[in-house]
């Protein structure tokens, strides 16, 4: 995977390791037998928030239960604040949406394919979902990982 902007460090393996731990520790018996969008029951490092973001959709509009989406949030204060700041939530008729804070955090999306147990971490640079500098985000990711794995 190639990363752009002014920071060429590949953080995808770090994010993937966080996602693997989160997925492995999610509630094994979710309501109705399938995970619900917004599920954050898995384990994460302090200061990091990961949620199950839903399933891919088949051509007939039904969920593809073998292709899962996740969102990883890293806040600018994640190294200093062990508790991830709660998001505001916007209720809708079909659930609720998290109100993202692009000046304070980055959201990194990823897809998991159960068919081939493969992760695809989408570079944050591709979704324009943050106003933080790329090198600051990469520094946070690597420093958080180091703080809790070494």
Tokens of 13: 């393996």
Asked if residue 2 belongs to a domain, the reply is no
Q: Range of 84's domain?
A: 12-149
* Predicted confidence (pLDDT) per residue in 92-110, tens digit: 766 677 888 999 999 999 9
Asked if residue 53 belongs to a domain, the reply is yes
Comparing CA positions, the residue from 76, 20, 25, 70 lying closest to residue 50 is 70
- Contact between 84 and 42 under an 8 Å Cβ cutoff? The reply is no
| Residue 13, pLDDT above cutoff 70 | yes
Asked if residue 109 belongs to a domain, the reply is yes
16-20, 81-85, 130-134, 145-149: which has the highest mean pLDDT? 16-20
Asked if residue 72 belongs to a domain, the reply is yes
Interior/surface letters 30-50, b for 16+ CB within 10 angstroms, e for the rest: eeeeebeeebeebebbebbbb
The tally of domains found in the chain comes to 1
Angle at 124 between CA 121 and CA 130, to 5 degrees: 150
Asked if residue 7 belongs to a domain, the reply is no
Asked if residue 144 belongs to a domain, the reply is yes
Give the predicted TM-score (pTM) of the model: 0.88
């Amino acid at each position: 995977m190639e990363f752009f902007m002014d920071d060429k460090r590949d953080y995808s393996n770090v994010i993937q390791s966080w996602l693997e731990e989160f997925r492995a520790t999610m509630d094994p018996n979710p309501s109705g037998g399938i995970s619900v969008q917004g599920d954050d029951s898995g384990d994460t490092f302090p200061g990091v928030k990961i949620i199950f973001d839903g399933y891919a959709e088949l051509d007939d509009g039904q969920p593809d239960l073998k292709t899962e989406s996740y969102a990883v949030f890293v806040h600018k204060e994640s190294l200093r604040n062990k508790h991830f700041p709660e998001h505001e939530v916007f209720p809708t008729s079909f659930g609720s949406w998290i109100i993202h804070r692009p000046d304070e955090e980055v959201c990194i999306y990823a897809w998991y394919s159960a068919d081939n147990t493969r992760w695809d971490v989408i570079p944050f640079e591709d979704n324009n979902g943050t106003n933080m500098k790329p090198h600051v985000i990469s520094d946070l990711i690597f420093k958080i990982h180091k703080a809790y794995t070494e």
